[in-house]
Amino acid sequence: MEKSVCVIGAGPSGITALKNIHEKGIKVIAYDYNHDVGGNWIYSEKESHSSVFETTHIISSKTLSQYEDFPFPQEVADYPSHEELRNYFQAYAKAFNLYPLISFNTLVQSCVLNPENIWEVTTVCEGEEKTENFTDLVVCNGHHWQPKYPNYPGEFSGEFLHSHQFKKATPFKDKKVLVIGGGNSACDVAVETSRVSKKTSISWRRGYRILPKFIMGKPSDVFASSMTFLPIWLRNIFAGIMVKIATGPNSWYGLPKVNHKFGATHPTVNSELLYMIRHGKVKPKPDIERFDGSTVYFKDGSKENFDSVIACTGFVLSHPFFKKEFLNYSSGPVPLYLKMFHPVMANLYFIGMFQPLGCIWPGAEQQSKLAASALTGEWQRPQNIAQLCEREVSQPHMKQLATSRHTITVDFHKFLRQIKAELRKAKPFKKVA
């Protein structure tokens, strides 16, 4: 049977998968629930697939956040806004003529591998259900769209929402706001609400390191990339020292002490939170003990009343088009070779399902090139791939805290080197006319 490939998603990972597979002359189509290319970076004031809000900027610099085959325009900001990113992804799709290969406003409802090893993909578009067969399936549905909610005793009677639902700060004008979390979204939301709220507090259950966006005038990831020749453990030691020099200890800001090594959690990159705390605009609070109406009780014995609680507590790794008994990575380890190859199903690929200490898209682009080479037979799956998949879990790039957030973490630079090393093993290929 002639190769036919289904790509799920036309976000940053989906379009580079589509581009690299199509360039090999393989029949391919992408399905996307959105109305245009961009995935998470298509901002809307209404709740949607996107988790970005009005003032969102990426936390990695443009230098290390661009496709190898399609650099950012020079005028783009060091840390691009969601609008600049949407324009960039749509320009990429136009430059490589991908729009004719994408079916928009289409929900992938189910993907079933039949006894003949063919994928039966059922989609719904404008109420019409359709099932098609494909030899291969490439999953690029992202992992920042299904909210993960915290679970505390009691019930909060005020407004309770997840950061996925937060779109702008204006609705929180003159309100008492509590933000839960110490990750990038939490710090951004706390900063934005503090500009208009009566009071904004931020609750941390443990200490987080806050990295500045610039070090010595350079984007922090560009500055850190000068140390990539070092082993990861040594690089992390130097990075930790540099952050402490730049910001000082958390105790200076009334924040919990960091009790883990640098690299043990995903970094939080924000140059305004500590500024806002020291200017009295954001008030640090410890972990929550319980809710009781509009009152929040904290583990240090204090209590306060709030109008709104915004939970910035991450997302669930979800693939709703698979039956859970067939495949479920929502909790526990993710044993995929190079975060993309399944140990058994050779016609299933995951692109962009990793969390680098950096940007996803450059790695997704290299994964896509490798997937395309595998589809043509240029690159062969290792015979010991099951063992390699298990090694992904037992020997991660860095030891991190045992949370669901850290099951797919990779080191940005090491991950790129690993995939490019595999690409160099590929045999020459002549494109199908």
Between 137-146, 147-156, 159-168, 239-248, the lowest mean confidence (pLDDT) is in 239-248
Q: What number of other Cβ atoms are within 10 A of residue 77's Cβ?
A: 12
Please tell me the predicted confidence (pLDDT) of residue 433: 46
Write down the pLDDT at residue 299: 97
Per-residue pLDDT reduced to its tens digit, 22-38: 999 999 999 999 999 99
CA atoms within 13 A on the CB side of 232: 16
Burial classification of residue 326, based on how many CB atoms lie within 10 Å of its CB (0-12 exposed, 13-18 middle, 19 or more buried): exposed
Instruction: Judge whether residue 41 has pLDDT over 70.
Output: yes
Domains of the chain (ranges; CATH) run 4-145+315-423 (3.50.50.60), 159-311 (3.50.50.60)
- Give the ranges where 120-202 is alpha helix by DSSP (H): 184-194
Alpha carbons 395 and 362: distance in angstroms, whole number: 23
pLDDT band at 401 (very low <50, low <70, confident <90, very high): low
Kindly provide the b/e burial profile for residues 116-137, where b requires at least 16 CB atoms within 10 angstroms of the residue's own CB.
Answer: eebbebebbeeeeeeeeebbbb
**pLDDT per position as a tens digit, 180-225:** 999 999 999 999 999 999 999 999 999 999 999 998 899 998 988 8
CA 239 to each of CA 49, 52, 130, 226, 413: distance values in angstroms, whole numbers, following the listed order = 34, 28, 51, 11, 15
Q: Is 185 helix (H, G, I), strand (E, B) or coil?
A: helix
Higher pLDDT, 261 or 204: 204
| Over residues 103-132, mean pLDDT | 97
